[in-house]
């Protein structure tokens, strides 16, 4: 299992991103972003903030792709734009061949870092929420919710309210709520950011299992390099703001994997490779933050 | 249980203070708790008291219905539409601090004497705080709920009925508490002037005839009802906030 690493040549000024040679291009393209830029308009006479881009990205159907980058680099903006939650200033997004514009396309599921479980609903009702609003018939709702509850290990908590659950359990509820909608593209915005290390590892395994069983395409935003290295088929490394993809790393892990992969020799290589790429960017990002604050 | 005992001690202290004030100020200003309770008991036995009571609380009911429906609708719209909210908020806050008694002659001119003036006066007291609370409640809903709603393909209507309102309910109950007491205040003030019925009228009438025990008895009963309703809302409020935490 050799990790192949393709770094982009001098992308910093020109922002040109090349696809890594081979596989992604040959597989079916599921989602595609071209020339994406996000510039927040100026407020109160100051200059606008160039948050993101230009970014070009192709996601192959069924792949597990992660994005790592220093804090404040626009990772979440990238996800919001791909999901159709916020419009890019420039560029185009295609999901399953259709333009994404101003609306989240059906078939896309998003799990956020923030606690998004509705506190006024029980675990069960939270999970069924989207299906019920979509008018799915009761028997089907029941079936899918029961499956998701079993899958996410929430059986003992189906009647509980989110306030009675730990952060990890609440995030499971949110993942289950996404899962029952049977999304073909699942976007996760630092979903385990608020969890402790052991819970993160376990949740990572759950996520891999979910990815394998649903066959969905997954894009995971994370700041944890080991998490990206452990879970992904392919990892995009983002620069400090304005965020651009400066490297593209393939892991070549088998599809049937779990957290024990961390013991592999190439896991260490990938993680240190990621850190080598990110160190300068993180310093830059930290410097920027320091100057700002 | 502990809380119940605390409340009892608090009530006992209040009665003690009241008795002290009575000794200090004398019969012409403040009736003693005993005399007041006796008069209250007497009044509860008369049909005319209940007619006044009904008058006040049906006016309160109408006023509250208008204040709650109106206030929540205004608050929801302003909370969901950012620009309107930003424009309206300072206006609402200054209206809130306006002493509404100055509008009473105007209300009387518009609605004439009687029930409708009282209802209108009560409603204008309650509607603004309820609108402000509702707007605040909607504005502080976690942005991630709105994002989730968009990802789950909710329609605008589903967003309001299944996300915005339930998410805002704990805050709405807080608004309702403030709105309730101010609406009651408005109704009572309305009854005190230019009215022939209601508990507010009874109080004014008793003051006019220097019947201190009657005045105090009405105030006591009003206070008990108001405290009971307020305590219920507070209980609900705590429960809802606890669940949301």
Q: Do A112 and B148 touch (CB under 8 A)?
A: yes
Decide if A26 is inside a domain.
yes
Confidence class for position A226, pLDDT limits 50, 70, 90: confident
* Chain-chain contact of A120 with B147 (C-beta, under 8 angstroms): no
Distance CA B30, CA B215 (A): 9
Q: How far is CA B166 from CA A29, B95, B163, in A?
A: 40, 28, 6
- A270-289 pLDDT tens trace: 888 888 888 877 777 777 55
Considering only CB atoms, B154 lies closest to which of A108, A119, A133, namely A133
Residues A96 and A127 in one domain: no
pLDDT at A123: 93
Which of B115, B112, B133 has its CA nearest to residue B177? B133
Q: Does one domain contain both A99 and A203? A: yes
Same domain, A91 and A134: no
Question: Can you tell me the distance from the alpha carbon of B102 to that of B100, in angstroms, rounded to the nearest whole number?
Answer: 5
Q: Which residues of A touch B162 (CB under 8 A)?
A: 129, 133
Tell me the two tokens of residue A153.
Answer: 């290990």
CB B204 within 8 A of CB B159: no
Cα gap A256→A147, rounded to integer Å: 21
| CB–CB contact B145 A116 (8 Å) | yes
Residue A3 in this model has a pLDDT that exceeds 80: no
The pLDDT of residue A10: 39
Nearest to B152 among A120, A121, A130 (CB): A130
pTM given for the model: 0.79
Q: How many structural domains is chain A composed of?
A: 2
Q: Are residues A100 and A171 in the same domain?
A: no
A252 and A146, same structural domain? no
- Kindly state whether residues A139 and A269 are assigned to the same domain: no
Where among A181, A203, A235 does a domain terminate? A181
Q: Is residue A97 part of a domain?
A: yes
* CB atoms A163 and B242 under 8 Å: yes
Element containing residue A68 per DSSP (H, E): strand A64-68
* Parallel/antiparallel/unpaired status of strands A64-68 and A217-222: parallel
A131 with A249, same domain?
no
Q: What CATH topology corresponds to B49-244?
A: MetI-like fold (1.10.3720)
Please check whether residues A53 and A175 belong to one and the same domain: no
| Residue A17, token pair as written in the block | 């991103």
CB contact under 8 A, B151 and A161: no
Residue A113 lies in a domain: no
Q: Is residue A248 part of a domain?
A: yes
Is A82 a member of any domain?
yes
Task: Quote the pLDDT of residue A98.
Answer: 85
Give pLDDT, residue B152. Answer: 92
Chain B residue with minimum CA distance to A182: B152
Of the partner residues B144, B163, B243, the one whose CB lies closest to the CB of residue A112? B144
Tell me which residue range forms the domain holding A129.
118-181
Domain boundaries, chain B: 49-244
- Scan residues 138-167 of B and list those with Cβ closer than 8 Å to A: 142-145, 147-148, 150-154, 158, 162-163, 166-167
Q: Can you name the residues that pair with A189 across neighbouring β-strands?
A: A221
What is the distance of C-alpha A187 from the center of its chain?
4
Task: Give the residue from B144, B155, B166 showing the smallest Cα distance to A177.
Answer: B144
CB contact under 8 A, B147 and A106: no
Contact status, residue A145 vs residue A128, Cβ threshold 8 Å: yes
* Residues in A lying within 8 Å of B, measured between beta carbons: 83, 85, 103-104, 106, 108-110, 112, 114-116, 118-121, 129-130, 133-134, 161, 163, 177-178, 181
Local confidence band at A6 (pLDDT 50, 70, 90 cut-offs): low
Beta bridge partners of A34: A92
Instruction: Look at A201-205, A230-234, A261-265, B206-210 and tell me which has the smallest mean pLDDT.
Output: A261-265
Radius of gyration of chain B (CA): 21
Contacts of A161 in chain B (CB under 8 A): 243
Residue A5's pLDDT band, with cuts at 50, 70 and 90, is low
For B144, nearest residue in chain A (alpha carbons)? A116
- State the Cα torsion A82-A86-A92-A94 to the nearest 10°: 40
B170 burial type by CB count under 10 A (0-12 exposed, 13-18 middle, 19+ buried): buried
Find the mean pLDDT for residues B38-42. 91
Q: What is the CATH number of the domain that holds A37?
A: 3.40.50.300
State whether A86 and A228 are in the same domain: yes
Q: Are residues A131 and A150 in the same domain?
A: yes
Query: Do A132 and A276 fall within a single domain?
Result: no
**A54-63, A273-282, B212-221: the lowest-pLDDT one:** A273-282
A10 inside domain? yes
Instruction: Confirm if B64 and B183 have CB atoms less than 8 A apart.
Output: yes
| Nearest C-alpha in A relative to B150 | A104
Residue A118's pLDDT is what?
A: 93
Answer whether A104 sits within 8 Å of B153, measured CB to CB.
yes
| Region class of B92: left (phi > 0), else alpha (psi between -120 and 50), else beta | alpha
The side-by-side arrangement of strands in the sheet containing A49-60 is A49-60, A29-40, A90-95, A98-99
């Amino acid at each position: 299992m050799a990790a192949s690493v393709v770094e982009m040549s001098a992308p910093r000024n020109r922002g040109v991103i090349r696809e890594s040679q081979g596989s992604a291009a040959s597989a079916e393209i599921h989602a595609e972003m071209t020339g994406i830029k996000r510039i927040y308009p100026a407020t109160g006479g100051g200059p606008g903030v160039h948050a993101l881009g230009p970014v070009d990205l192709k996601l192959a159907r069924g792949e597990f792709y992660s994005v790592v980058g220093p804090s404040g680099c626009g990772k979440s903006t990238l996800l919001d734009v791909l999901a159709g939650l916020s419009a890019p200033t420039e560029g185009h997004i295609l999901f399953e061949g259709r333009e994404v514009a101003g609306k989240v396309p059906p078939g896309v599921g998003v799990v956020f870092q923030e606690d998004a479980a509705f506190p006024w609903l029980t675990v069960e009702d939270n999970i069924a929420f989207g299906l019920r609003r979509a008018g799915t018939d009761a028997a089907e709702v029941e079936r899918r919710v029961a499956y998701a509850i079993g899958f996410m290990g929430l059986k003992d908590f189906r009647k509980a309210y989110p306030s009675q659950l730990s952060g990890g359990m609440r995030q499971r509820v949110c993942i289950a709520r996404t899962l029952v909608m049977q999304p073909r593209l699942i976007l996760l915005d630092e979903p385990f950011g608020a969890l402790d290390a052991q819970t993160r590892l376990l949740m990572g395994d759950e996520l891999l299992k979910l990815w394998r069983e649903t066959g969905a395409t997954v894009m995971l935003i994370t700041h944890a390099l080991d998490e990206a290295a452990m879970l992904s088929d392919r990892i995009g490394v983002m620069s400090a703001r304005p965020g651009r993809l400066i490297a593209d790393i393939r892991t070549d892990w088998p599809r049937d994997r779990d957290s024990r992969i961390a013991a592999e020799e190439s896991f260490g290589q990938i993680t240190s490779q990621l850190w080598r790429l990110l160190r300068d960017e993180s310093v830059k990002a930290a410097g920027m933050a320091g100057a700002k604050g | 249980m502990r809380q119940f005992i605390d409340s009892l001690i608090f009530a006992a202290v209040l009665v003690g203070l009241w008795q002290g004030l009575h000794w200090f100020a004398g019969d012409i200003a403040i009736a003693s708790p005993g005399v007041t309770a006796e008069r209250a008991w007497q009044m509860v036995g008369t049909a005319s008291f209940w007619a006044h009571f009904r008058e006040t609380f049906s006016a309160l009911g109408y006023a509250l219905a208008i204040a709650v429906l109106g206030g929540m609708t205004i608050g929801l719209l302003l909370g969901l539409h950012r620009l309107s909210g930003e424009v309206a908020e300072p206006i609402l806050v200054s209206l809130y601090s306006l002493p509404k008694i100055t509008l009473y002659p105007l209300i009387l001119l518009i609605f004439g004497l009687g029930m409708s003036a009282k209802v209108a006066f009560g409603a204008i007291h309650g509607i603004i705080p309820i609108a402000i609370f509702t707007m605040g409640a909607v504005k502080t809903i976690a942005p991630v709920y709105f994002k989730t709603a968009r990802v789950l393909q909710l329609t605008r209507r589903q967003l309001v009925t299944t996300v915005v309102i339930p998410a805002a309910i704990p805050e709405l109950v807080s608004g309702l508490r403030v709105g309730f007491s101010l609406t009651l205040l408005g109704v009572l003030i309305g009854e005190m002037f230019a009215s022939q019925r209601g508990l507010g009228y009874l109080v004014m009438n008793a003051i006019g005839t220097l019947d201190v025990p009657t005045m105090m008895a009405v105030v006591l009963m009003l206070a008990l009802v108001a405290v009971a309703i307020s305590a219920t809302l507070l209980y609900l409020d705590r429960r809802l906030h606890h669940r949301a935490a």
